[in-house]
Chain A
Amino acid sequence: DTEVTQTPKHLVMGMTNKKSLKCEQHMGHRAMYWYKQKAKKPPELMFVYSYEKLSINESVPSRFSPECPNSSLLNLHLHALQPEDSALYLCASSQDSWNTGELFFGEGSRLTVL
């Protein structure tokens, strides 16, 4: 079982909806990540939080809004999404963002935007 838990596993939303994806880890990791993965493509980095502060935003549109309430939790707030935003959203964590160690990934939240 993965030690990074993501909810919901599946989400269908309309373009005017507001929803959130949640991610939780209890490994004491201080870096957390959001990746987006389209079908048959590699994951693409969206955001990196290091010690609960946003350290990297890979030019992600503002309709995606990350939040890190504490070191164990990471949210991705979704608003006014487009159908092309449909993808698998993967959360990951690592010991910290300076040590190039392994990332632990969750199983992802599969998002469909109608």
Chain B
Amino acid sequence: KNQVEQSPQSLIILEGKNCTLQCNYTVSPFSNLRWYKQDTGRGPVSLTIMTFSENTKSNGRYTATLDADTKQSSLHITASQLSDSASYICVVSARSGNTPLVFGKGTRLSVIA
């Protein structure tokens, strides 16, 4: 069964600290993996996309990694800011099938001063 598991479920960190969010998946055949950021009361917005051949990709203070062998991805946030407080959702795409997108339940990050 295609599944995406995220950990931790929630996280509280101090402003300026770093953190890492995890995503494990069993989706096959794999096409790509996206991390979305969802601010409270808003729709999710794509942060980054990882394809099979990519190991690391950065977008400002956000760095995503992908290990296609172990089917794991991480999202590392450097020097966190209060505005990073949001839910981060991992979404894995399959290359075929009628329902190609599999969503994780997200990690709720709270950055406090």
Q: Do A and B come from one complex?
A: no
The interface of chain B, by Cβ under 8 A from chain A, is: none
